[in-house]
Structure 1
């Protein structure tokens, strides 16, 4: 059973990491690309700004199940999120989640080619360790003592 703490941990890690690889289906192939995530916990959703001309919009319309892979390699924290995606032209939401990184792709939130990609997560798994240096020390100690290292938290979470 998923605990409130595990659910909160998933959202905290997503917020902390911020960027992910969005994996979509393209026929029999899986395609990933880096995306900047915006979360709204009260909606239970992860949002992205995307362009109307992008291939991912077409892929999502045909195969809405996606995976978001968040990775903080220095902090040794990872989250994998599965869910259903949809694309909309919600201009109010676009203005709400607009931020400086979006300026790399569009001049303003009023650009008519911007769309919102919303992911409704259904499942997540996270791995959160004490960090690279501590992890290496634990792995070395385990190798010497022929034991398994305690590498931090790993939980599967139904959202």
Structure 2
């Protein structure tokens, strides 16, 4: 598969999965929390809405390298994306990204505490398997035949 196809696959998977675990550095520890991702492939960015009072903003400002882990466990599709994060206060972009997930945390996009966390990806790895049932069948067949199962596509992609 060509690099362009792998890059497209990464963007398609993260867009389809939609939610991820955002991992940030907190001194000597790594901390992850679930976040709703807004994928903007033409901008080479993944956006999140966050609160100005949250700890992740401080963590990103101190250590901007982050990891986003996307998982569709039912479909056996996964993406690990590494990149650089910035905290922004672009009020127009906040309104553009406003949607159902944000309504759980804020009353309106005009809330002055809302910030954007923008991740510019540099590297990704994806795993795209044919699904849980087929994966189990392939693993069972491989165990019986003493071979390794073909678990679908896997690629490392520089973005």
TM-score by length of 2: 0.98
CA deviation profile, 1:10-69 (whole Å, cap 9, x unmatched)? 000001100000000000100000000001111100000000000000000000000000
Per-residue CA deviations over 1:60-115 (Å, capped at 9, x if unaligned) read 00000000000000000000000000001000000001111110000010000000
Residue of structure 2 equivalent to 1:79: 79
1:67 — aligned with what? Answer: 67
Question: CA RMSD of the aligned region, Å?
Answer: 1.0
8 A contact 1:84–1:120 mirrored in 2: yes
- In 2, the alpha carbon distance for the partners of 1:16 and 1:55 equals 28
Query: Unmatched 5+ residue regions in structure 1?
Result: none
1:137 matched to 2:148? The reply is no
**Inter-partner Cα distance in structure 1 for 2:87 and 2:27:** 19
Distance in 2 of aligned mates of 1:2 and 1:56:
36
Name the SS of the counterpart of 1:115 in structure 2.
strand
Runs of 4 or more above 3 Å deviation = none
Q: CA deviation at 1:123?
A: 0.1
Determine the C-alpha separation between the residues in 2 that align with 1:2 and 1:11.
Answer: 15
Q: For residue 2 of structure 1, report the CA deviation from its aligned partner.
A: 6.2
What residue number does 2:38 align with?
38
Q: Which segment drifts farther, 40-49 or 2-11? A: 2-11
The 8 Å contact of residues 69 and 80 in structure 1, kept in 2 or not, is answered as yes
For normalisation by structure 1, the TM-score amounts to 0.98
| Structure 2 equivalent of residue 10 of structure 1 | 10
Structure 2: unaligned runs, 5 residues or longer: none
The answer for the alignment partner of 1:126 in structure 2 is: 126
SS at match of 2:151: coil
